[in-house]
A and B are shown apart, each in its own frame.
Chain A
């Protein structure tokens, strides 16, 4: 197992970790989750045979792992908040501390990172796979289990969504500056 681990680590660790981070937006969680990916590879009933590429197969395992985590987090939060009072959308989003890399990046990029929060999970997936991980439409489609046209439409909507958010934010900032 160790040899296999080494091979996977050398080829994919960095990408999978980064992918998981941008999906769950929590560095500590990403550390745990990337380990889960290896565990699944070694101990799952699923094998690589018959899949189109090892890379997209690993990414799709990471995607499942990430989605599971997000779901469980949301459930926990809803449960906990359920005891206190009605939920508002913001309550569910629990901002974990921004990693240094984000904090020290350009403002305009930071703003995009924050704006991604308002995209739907599907939209976020596409944005991360296509622009952060620099995967092709075909690869993204394989990982997500979607048609290529669905990837394209979702990508288009995601970019538009970001644009709208950024424009909104800019207008708000400008109005405040004027006052």
Chain B
């Protein structure tokens, strides 16, 4: 009887598939269970992310960041404004966001940012050239309301608080992933508490892929299609494999990826990673060209407040595209960074984390302790703002290598969740998302 393969019907194929043999695991149930227990124990002792320790700044030495970061570092507020405007023009072209902007308008009523008026504009249909003319007028008009509103600091009722050491129980640890707001190009780190037994890098990868950020009003991470791996040798940098072809990535996309990468490294405790694609070192990333390694040598960033419709988060200066150098291109000191945290540019997507009324008289650095001295008339708000400021300062200090900060001032008052009469340990990570 000839087997009629040449005229196999679909049915025959399906039948054959159904005839594929059962493959059994020949081990006993006990064996499998023991293996699981053993593996779990091993993992708990495996290589942990190193604590983020950056040497305190000693000189204004040239930083060893890759060339790719220089465009960001050099960008002046003026340039930033221009980018913002062209972004808003694109938005209007797309015409997608009119509903969102109406809500923004309501939310931003208290904030001294120009968003409310801009969104009014967006409801009308205007051509590009008209828009360009109007954006100039717009900036001029906004100057007036901004002055009035400045009397009151915004109140961050829905501030997503940081994860402190006290919040972590036995058998738990933290993992922080960088999500983003594509519209404003802000990178927002979110922290989750996971089981000690889960491998940190694995958890990082999983969370980045699975957590969309939808319920907190954020966009999924720019690093979703990336594999993170430990190198064969213990002390070698992590290997980061890009699955997608990014040679045609737009400049905004590429930038978001690079900044998200940097943010990730900070929380993974890594200062260098190897970038790979198709198993070989080197990826082509938009107009950055080919990058094979990414290294962060020194990092000083302030922390600012990013607020969307739902919540307020702490974001780093680099996450918010805020420069960490002064006009001479020198890295800011810790004190200077704190001063910068008191205000952001008019067109900035983020707000100051330290209220204007807080005057920092001095900063004393004593090994792992930073003492921040406030003036007599500096007083913390009683709402969430106080906590937000404290946490922002703590994280800024952590990036400078400090482990504790003491907040000193005659009339400081209190901050929710913190006792200010003694040095405070730097928290584990910002913006904790609880399940």
Question: Which residues of chain A have a CB within 8 Å of any CB of chain B?
Answer: 2, 5-6, 9, 13-14, 17-18, 21-22, 27, 30-31, 34-35, 38-39, 42-47, 64, 71-72, 74-79, 82, 99, 101-102, 104-106, 108-109, 112-113, 127, 131-132, 134, 159-160, 162-163, 166-167, 170-171
Contact = CB atoms under 8 A, between A and B. Distances in A.
Contacts of A106: 19
B32 to A, nearest CB: 6
B20 A113 contact: yes
Contacts, number: 133
Of B20, B192, B207, B276, which is in contact with the most chain A CB atoms at under 10 Å from its CB?
Answer: B20
B17 A127 contact: yes
A104 B22 CA distance: 12
B16 to A, nearest CB: 4
A22 B20 contact: yes
Q: By CB atoms of chain A within 10 A, which of B13, B195, B206, B241 has the most?
A: B13
A105 B21 contact: yes
Interface stretch (B2-10, B347-355, B399-407): B2-10
Contacts of B23: 17-18, 21-22, 27, 30, 99, 101-102
B369 interface: no
B350 to A, nearest CB: 28
Given A45-B192, A71-B227, A127-B17, A6 B29 contact: yes
Interface stretch (B35-43, B259-267, B417-425): B35-43
B223 to A, nearest CB: 16
Contacts of A72: 227, 229
Contacts of A71: 227
Interface of B: 3, 5-6, 8, 10, 13-14, 16-25, 27, 29, 32-33, 35-36, 39-40, 43, 192-195, 197-198, 203, 206-207, 210, 227, 229, 241, 276, 278-280, 435
Given A75-B279, A163-B13, A9 B20 contact: no
A82 B280 contact: yes
The 3 tightest CB contacts between A and B, nearest first, are A78-B279, A131-B17, A101-B21
15 contacts: A5-B33, A6-B29, A9-B29, A30-B23, A43-B195, A43-B197, A44-B194, A75-B276, A78-B280, A82-B279, A109-B16, A160-B10, A163-B8, A167-B5, A171-B6
B42 to A, nearest CB: 11
A108 B17 CA distance: 10
B207 A45 contact: yes
A79 B43 CA distance: 26
Nearest to A167: B6
B36 A109 contact: no
A167 B8 contact: yes
B8 A166 contact: yes
Contacts of B10: 159-160, 163
A20 B195 CA distance: 25
A78 B10 CA distance: 35
Given A18-B23, A131-B20, A159 B14 contact: yes
